[in-house]
Amino acid sequence: MIVEISNANNRLIIDSTQGGRATHWFYKGLQILGEKGDNPLVGGWYLMAPWAGRIRDNQVIYKNIKYPQEVNFQKWAIHGTVAFSEGKVQNQTSDSVEIVHTTRSNWPVNMEVLQRWTLTSKYVKCYAKISVIKGEFPAELGWHPWFKRQLTQGKSAKFGIEAISQYIKDDNFFTLNETKEIGVPPFDDAFVVPTGKGFIEWPEALRIDFSTDLQTFVIFDEPEDVFCIEPQTGPPDAINRAQNLVTPEEPLEASVKWEITGL
């Protein structure tokens, strides 16, 4: 199901069959998001849940029990399952919509994943909640937008986050729970961002200032035509440290506000 929400010059097009992914974000007629290709991981703007990024050995381990997960890209089980499954649309208005998912049968507990897109004329807000009725299990979530480097107006994008350190990766690209000084781009890395703030600017076109309570961001800027800024509840593989344990009393919730202005 294709859903469109809008307010003045701000418009999102969302596909519930593709994990509730925003396939297009238009502001004053300018399309901001990278196009979706054959690879389901590329393009648009999607929710990563019930984990984000790569998980070590393609499995989640909790209380010494291993739960293997399906490989969905090259040799990795990456970015969770929500982005690759159809969701149920609910509570749709002209400027907001909710999409609900349930975790797959091989997940050890039945989790509900709710995502909500809301916009005004000045911002887009993405919100997500992972909850359980009974049982407990760790989870992570995050968002994976693909931004165009060059819009049809203005100059090429520049961007930044208020990072203070960078997570270390091992030789197999798995993120460790250790940090170092920030290196030199291009990046495919996670960063510690205590303020949860950053920006994207296409000079002479648009500027986005984003803010969140989340303190982890992944930057992927290796491609020439697109780049990704991914706010997350924890670094990749954090689920295997049970950093966020979801229980009936304590769901996992997060949101990010993306304020946009024309230049």
pLDDT in the model for residue 152: 98
Q: What is the pLDDT of residues 47-80, one digit of tens each?
A: 999 999 999 999 999 999 999 999 988 899 999 9
Bridge partners of residue 230, in order along the sequence: 218
What percent of the chain has pLDDT above 70? 100
Residues sharing a CB contact under 8 Å with residue 187, sequence separation 6 or more, in sequence order: 219, 220, 221, 222
Given a cut of 80, whether residue 108 has pLDDT beyond it is yes
Residues sharing a CB contact under 8 Å with residue 112, sequence separation 6 or more, in sequence order: 100, 101, 102, 130, 131, 132
pLDDT in the model for residue 172: 81
Tell the residue number behind the tokens 């961007």, with chain if given.
159
**Predicted structure pTM score:** 0.96
Stretch 163-167: mean pLDDT, rounded? 99
Q: Which fold has domain 2-262?
A: Beta-galactosidase; Chain A, domain 5 (2.70.98)
Bridge partners of residue 11, in order along the sequence: 6, 26
pLDDT in the model for residue 104: 84
Number of Cβ within 10 Å of residue 206's Cβ equals 20
Bridge partners of residue 220, in order along the sequence: 188, 228
**Can the peptide bond before residue 50 be classed as cis, meaning omega within 30 degrees of 0?**
yes
Given a cut of 80, whether residue 37 has pLDDT beyond it is no
Q: What is the pLDDT of residues 202-251, one digit of tens each?
A: 999 999 999 999 999 999 999 999 999 999 999 999 999 999 999 999 99
